[in-house]
Chains A and B, each alone.
Chain A
């Protein structure tokens, strides 16, 4: 994938990468001629595809460790923090979940976990909960 500044007919150059932690990725490219920037925003599936190649947009800051991809991405089952592939909960998110009435807490938790799993989100934070509520129409949870 390359980016072209159409007005300048110049190939744009990578400038910055952001990893928000919700499975998505933002990479900024800049025209060396006019300075115009564009941001490439990838969804979790696209982000995962790049990640599965064992590369990082913008280059690596440290050399790869042996079996880095396998160790980082293989879920071996029987994890102490929950079922296979369960996302982690930040302390703020846990506290907020604790305020949900106990008789519906399990169901609400499952909704957030399913939401996170489907999007490759590794940690549920209050921001992720807000996004999920808005997307899924779960106001009040």
Chain B
């Protein structure tokens, strides 16, 4: 009896063609985007979205056309950080003209993300559903021409891996950490995974500097991965802080 890979005739189900069409849709949409940068950490609560939003604004003030995809589907904060109004069809346009799409634009205020479907063993399909939502965010938004599209990632590595699969090419990565050794250790794992996947590591942003948080996470990681520390963000940054970061991206 022949096995799976020995059956090569089209079976009429159209599944492979549909998956191919989805990838093509993303590729065509992103063809008008000059640069993709994923803002990631591997550690929660370090201010990835805060850095993403303010970096986006600084880039826009410098004359760049900027979009942000909020891929944190379960804790979307980009619309609030950019003060982007609700619109029937994304992208919404936030502060300084930064365009964005976020699951927050599809949810009622305060409502958790929930999908229709069988509640029992929902872990079987929920990850796939989330990846499909991200694919639609990448493929269905009419951005127009963009100089840069920032991808704001949730904590952990799952979304980064999904993005690599959806995009076909690993995006460049900007890493955010706070000074503590705990953050350094979590971020190290994420950076290693990104490097192993072939992402360009642009550098490190150290957030929440100058307060109670002690450590040298940014310097340690910079030395280990041979990348620059692009910015150290104090607790009360000024527009110049972000402008300086934007000049490196």
- A residues contacting B by CB (< 8 A) are 2-4, 6, 9, 11-15, 23, 27, 29, 44-45, 48-49, 51-60, 64, 66-78, 84-85, 117-120, 122
* A54 & B12 in contact (Cβ 8 Å cutoff): no
**Chain B residues whose CB sits within 8 angstroms of the CB of A44 once the complex forms:** 117-118
* B108 & A76 in contact (Cβ 8 Å cutoff): yes
* B12 & A13 in contact (Cβ 8 Å cutoff): yes
* B11 & A12 in contact (Cβ 8 Å cutoff): yes
Q: Assess whether B196 is interfacial by the CB under 8 Å rule.
A: no
**Leading 6 A-B pairs by shortest Cβ distance:** A59-B14, A77-B111, A14-B12, A66-B140, A120-B118, A52-B129
Assembly CA distance A1 to B106 (angstroms): 33
**Chain B residues whose CB sits within 8 angstroms of the CB of A73 once the complex forms:** 115-117, 129
Which of B17-25, B49-57, B172-180, B241-249 is the interface stretch? B17-25
Name the prevailing secondary structure of the B interface residues: loop
Q: Known contacts A45-B121, A69-B133; decide if A57 and B13 are in contact (CB<8 Å).
A: yes
Assembly CA distance A115 to B111 (angstroms): 24
Q: Assess whether B89 is interfacial by the CB under 8 Å rule.
A: yes
How many B residues touch the partner, as a band? 35 or more
- The residue on A at minimum CB distance from B4 is A2
Q: Assess whether B236 is interfacial by the CB under 8 Å rule.
A: no
Assembly CA distance A75 to B107 (angstroms): 8
**Which of B9, B13, B14, B25 has the largest number of chain A CB atoms within 10 A?**
B13
Q: Known contacts A11-B7, A45-B118, A54-B132; decide if A76 and B19 are in contact (CB<8 Å).
A: no
- The residue on A at minimum CB distance from B124 is A45
Assembly CA distance A77 to B1 (angstroms): 50
Smallest CB–CB gap between A69 and chain B, Å?
5
* A67 & B89 in contact (Cβ 8 Å cutoff): yes
**Chain B residues whose CB sits within 8 angstroms of the CB of A27 once the complex forms:** 13
Q: Assess whether B223 is interfacial by the CB under 8 Å rule.
A: no
Assembly CA distance A84 to B118 (angstroms): 13
* B118 & A118 in contact (Cβ 8 Å cutoff): yes
**Chain A residues whose CB sits within 8 angstroms of the CB of B22 once the complex forms:** 54-55
Q: Assess whether B113 is interfacial by the CB under 8 Å rule.
A: yes
Assembly CA distance A95 to B4 (angstroms): 50
**Chain A residues whose CB sits within 8 angstroms of the CB of B132 once the complex forms:** 52-54, 69
Interface string of B98-124 (1 = CB under 8 A from A): 000001001110111111111111001
Q: Assess whether B165 is interfacial by the CB under 8 Å rule.
A: no
- The residue on A at minimum CB distance from B12 is A14
Q: Known contacts A9-B1, A69-B132; decide if A118 and B119 are in contact (CB<8 Å).
A: yes
Assembly CA distance A52 to B112 (angstroms): 18
Partner of A70, one of B106, B112, B114, B121: B106
Q: Assess whether B136 is interfacial by the CB under 8 Å rule.
A: yes
